[in-house]
Amino acid sequence: MAEDSLLSDELLRHLMAVGQVDVLVGVPTLNNASTIGGVVRAVQQAFATYFPRDRAVLINSDGGSTDGTPGLVKDYSLDEAGTVTVSHSLRTMHRISSPYHGLPGKGNALRQILAAADLTQARAVAVLDADVASVTPDWIAALIRPVRDQQFDYVAPVYTRHPLDGPLVTHLVRPLIRAAYGWQVREPLAAEFGCSSRFVTHCLEQDVWESDLARYGIDLWVTGAALAGGFRCCQAPLGARVTASAVDRPGFQDVFQQVVGSAFLVLEPHAPYWLPRMGSEPLPIVGPPFPSEVCEAPKVDGSRLTQTFCRDLENLQSVLGDILSPETLSRLKATAETDCTQLRFADDLWARTVYEFLAAFHRGVMRRDHVTQALIPLYLGRTGSFLIQFAAADPADVEAALEALGLEFERSKPALVEGWNQAIPR
């Protein structure tokens, strides 16, 4: 679709006034008044500090905020220290805030940002999450520089975090993406990324923007599109990621269904790319490492999660029987019959479980949201088991265990390919 049909007249007018740019930073927003100031400040300072000779623009694509977020972006004035920094900039730095049209969700906001980048022929683009309170000018530099200076097409962030943190990423999405696409991406779900104009054009040409995937899983789709599209990809360390307080955030179940549903959906259009691939390669890490910060391990009682798993597995057996193979189901039952407070959910069993769920999701053995819902208790069992096992372990040992899990996903991939290609009953 042509950019001008994606952009409102007002935004088009602003962009034409700005003209061609070198660096574009996009920030999708929806009621982010508490954090947007810090993000705009970081962007402005990054423009002045790291890209003083570049033509730069900040585009805010707003989904209809009712807390005055767009006004804060437009009217944001730098404090004294900021003004000093900005005075070193050799070019005018533009700031545009515009509502996006169409379906609500991040997908349309991102589409508008990418369309604006395409129209202004931006050489390097960075997209930030307005909900993050820890954005610094270094983040923008880390995402833009590999594209501008080293001709990378896609830059994924690497956050500093405790390896026990974010188990949905570390135990499910990360090893799944690694084994499927054959690339080791630390944060495949990251909302921040940097990209080239070539990748922007590729994304805009894809038939994803009107789908549920664009609404709920666009971050993961972007990662998948970069890996499957044969683009030059790298990772950039950003440091710790601190988000604003989670008052209006969806609960665990909604998050789980959106993330897992998106991860399973993303793999479908890219199947010709990933089905024949075996093994994996690390994505290069570009840029200075951030000073190591002490990240606290999550304080959750793993045995409560495993007890939930043991109880729910019994309740869900009739549903799981339609999704899992008899061998996997009997191994899960055997696992649940042990002492639930000391449960051990083996890596190979977890990899097989995820793969069989993915194959069932693909073959449509039942409604897809039922498939993802049925995975929740098993995920809690796996997470709880890992927390019990590594609660007091050294972070390096935890990292080693996560690496072993990634390798297990790779080793088990033939089972996924077999399940994926299994004929739908005629």
Partner 1 sequence: MAQMIAEAVSQAGRNFVESLASFLPRVATTISIIAVGWLIAILLRTIVRFVLGWLRLNAAAERLGVAPLLRNAELPPADAMVAAIVFWLVWIGFLLSGIDVLGFTALQGLLSGFAAFVPRLLVALVILVIGFVAANFAWRATLLAAVNAHVPSPRVLSGAVRWLILILAGAMALEQVAVARTVVLTAFAIAFGAIMLAVAIAFGLGGRNIAKRILEHQFPEREPSGADEMSHL
Q: Which residues bind partner 1 (CB under 8 A)?
A: 165-169, 189, 251-253, 255-256, 259, 298, 300-301, 304-305, 307-308, 311-312, 315-316, 318-319, 322, 364-367, 370, 373-374, 376-377, 380, 383, 424-426
**Which CB sits closer to partner 1, 78 or 366?**
366
Nearest-approach distance from CB 134 to partner 1, in angstroms: 14
Non-local (6+) Cβ contacts of 371 within 8 A are 264, 323, 357, 360, 361, 365
Nearest-approach distance from CB 94 to partner 1, in angstroms: 32
**Which CB sits closer to partner 1, 100 or 309?**
309
**What are the counts of helices (DSSP H) followed by strands (DSSP E) for the chain?**
21, 9
Nearest-approach distance from CB 23 to partner 1, in angstroms: 28
Report the alpha-carbon distance of residue 353 to residue 20 in Å, rounded: 50
Report the alpha-carbon distance of residue 175 to residue 348 in Å, rounded: 12
Position 82: which residue type? Answer: G
Nearest-approach distance from CB 261 to partner 1, in angstroms: 14
**Which CB sits closer to partner 1, 192 or 312?**
312
**Which CB sits closer to partner 1, 104 or 252?**
252
Instruction: Determine the angle formed by the axes of helices 106-119 and 9-18, rounding to 10 degrees.
Output: 40
H-assigned helices in 252-293? 252-267, 271-274
Report the alpha-carbon distance of residue 363 to residue 357 in Å, rounded: 10
Strand partners, 195: 125, 154
Nearest-approach distance from CB 206 to partner 1, in angstroms: 24
Nearest-approach distance from CB 129 to partner 1, in angstroms: 12
Contact 195, 147 (CB under 8 A): yes
**Which CB sits closer to partner 1, 18 or 305?**
305
Nearest-approach distance from CB 82 to partner 1, in angstroms: 31
**Which CB sits closer to partner 1, 307 or 412?**
307
CB atoms within 10 A of CB 130: 27
Report the alpha-carbon distance of residue 27 to residue 156 in Å, rounded: 16
Residue 159: Cβ-neighbour burial (10 angstroms; 0-12, 13-18, 19+): buried
Residue 174 DSSP class: H
Nearest-approach distance from CB 185 to partner 1, in angstroms: 15
Strand partners, 46: none
* R_g of the chain, CA atoms, integer Å: 22
- At residue 84, the 3 state secondary structure works out as helix
**Which CB sits closer to partner 1, 85 or 170?**
170
**Which CB sits closer to partner 1, 146 or 167?**
167
Nearest-approach distance from CB 298 to partner 1, in angstroms: 5
Report the alpha-carbon distance of residue 166 to residue 182 in Å, rounded: 21
Report the alpha-carbon distance of residue 64 to residue 335 in Å, rounded: 48
Contact 227, 185 (CB under 8 A): yes
**Which CB sits closer to partner 1, 322 or 418?**
322
